[in-house]
Amino acid sequence: MKKLSLVMIVRNEEKKLERCLKSVQGSVDDIVIVDTGSDDRTLEIARTYHAKLFQYPWNNHFAEVRNYALSKSTGDWNLVLDADEWVTKGNRQQLNNFMDNQQAIGQIRITSSFFDGADSFAHCYTSRLIPRNVFYKGKIHEQIDSTLPRINCDLEVAHDGYYRTDKSERNLSLLLSEIQDYPRDPYLHYQTAKEYYRISDYENANKHYALSYSFLSGTESYYPNVVVDYLYNIMKYGNMQKGLEIVQSEESRIGDFPDFYFVCGLFYMNLVSSDITKYIYLFPQIETSYLKALEIGETSEYLTVEGTGSYAAAYNLGVFYETTGNREKAFRYYKEAEKYNYEPAKRRLADIS
């Protein structure tokens, strides 16, 4: 049987580390933790789980610290997690099946919680199960440096590192430093744009979304997310005509992505409202977009926000129909959203009943 090690880098994670370590009990053979300067109970908690502990001074370079941790692992395979993540589904037998039969990087499904006016969740597949002698590159939002294929495996993880937490100051400093070395890297510009968006600096976000979009080849796995997030920022920053050009040019490329049609529904609504005389001909696209999002559903392999292919799209359709006087259809789609226990839909049903 292949040996599997959990490999982590941590600093001051006393509030979350035990949740992570407890979740992998019975699934990993040993635990390797590199600490970058904790002054709380992090190391004490790690010792209770018999972790192999190492120290590495923080140097503003995530890949270097991550690679140091990997160098201390004796596993045939390494599972890489952060302290703010924990396993919610999957077992050792499933991991063994993957490790025994694949020459690949294992992608695990991560559900991230965040607050955007309401509690929300995003799902994505991320490369975290890696064979020995595979390492990382990048100061921040580090990526696995390997040509091995990426294959989904049966492991699901929850993540709350960005839930009501602001890491933008640290992240922007590292990202902007990295961009100086790689000024045409679309991924770095994309991550930078997202950090500016989080702090409501839509002007700088727009600058980096535009750069990322211009440098993309179209084959990147995160390409659809750049498009969608760029459109959200355009609705905050302005330049709706540019947004319309993006919407009309991207449907043929990412038409299997529910988040794309969901943001299109919002975009068309904002566009028509901005100049009714000029854009009224696009009014039917609001309905069409949400219907397409529901038709696709939530089976996308992209990073997708929960609800864009189900309850959120159904609720927005309900609002559309209610405001256009079609109470029968409004009731129908509010009921559809209510099936997911979606509170806004419950409230509207109570009002129109």
What CATH number does the domain containing 301 carry?
1.25.40.10
* pLDDT at site 205: 98
Tell how strand 4-10 and strand 30-35 pair up.
parallel
pLDDT confidence of residue 300: 61
CATH of the domain at 92: 3.90.550.10
Q: Are residues 234 and 293 in the same domain?
A: yes
The pLDDT assigned to 301 comes to 65
Residue after which a domain boundary falls, among 111, 142, 159: 159
CA atoms of 293 and 342, how far apart (whole Å): 17
Per-residue model confidence (pLDDT) at position 235: 98
Q: Are residues 148 and 191 in the same domain?
A: no
Q: Is 203 helix (H, G, I), strand (E, B) or coil?
A: helix
Q: Are residues 310 and 215 in the same domain?
A: yes
pTM: 0.88
Q: Using one digit for the tens of pLDDT, what is the confidence trace for 290-343? A: 999 999 998 766 678 999 999 999 999 999 999 999 999 999 999 999 999 999
Same domain, 114 and 226: no
**Cα distance between residue 41 and residue 171, in whole Å:** 25
Q: Note whether 10 and 125 are same-domain residues.
A: yes
- β-sheet bridge partners, residue 8: 33
Q: How many residues does the chain have?
A: 353
Residues 20 and 154 in one domain: yes
Of 159, 181, 207, the position where a domain reaches its end is: 159
- Domain region containing 36: 4-159
Start-to-end C-alpha separation, the chain? 61
Residues 172 and 320 reside in one and the same domain:
yes
Residues 141 and 23 in one domain: yes
Domain C-terminal end among 159, 181, 203: 159
Structural tokens at position 288: 């069409």
The reply to whether 49 and 175 lie within a common domain is: no
| φ, ψ dihedrals at 5, nearest 5° | -110, 140
Residues 123 and 107: their CA atoms lie apart, in Å, by 12
Non-local (6+) Cβ contacts of 5 within 8 A are 28, 29, 30, 31, 32, 73, 74, 75, 77, 78, 79
264 and 341 share one domain:
yes
pLDDT tens per residue across all 353 residues of the chain: 899 999 999 999 999 999 999 999 999 999 999 999 999 999 999 999 999 999 999 999 999 999 999 999 999 999 999 999 999 999 999 999 999 999 999 999 999 998 777 788 989 999 999 999 999 999 999 999 999 999 999 999 999 988 777 788 889 999 999 999 999 999 999 999 999 999 999 999 999 999 999 999 999 989 999 999 999 999 999 999 999 999 999 999 998 999 999 999 999 999 999 999 999 999 999 999 999 999 999 876 667 899 999 999 999 999 999 999 999 999 999 999 999 999 999 999 998 87
Check residue 302 and give its pLDDT: 67
Q: What are phi and psi of 222, to 5 degrees?
A: -95, 5
121 with 15, same domain?
A: yes
Task: Please indicate, yes or no, whether residues 59 and 108 belong to a single structural domain of this protein.
Answer: yes
Task: Please give the tally of structural domains in the chain.
Answer: 2
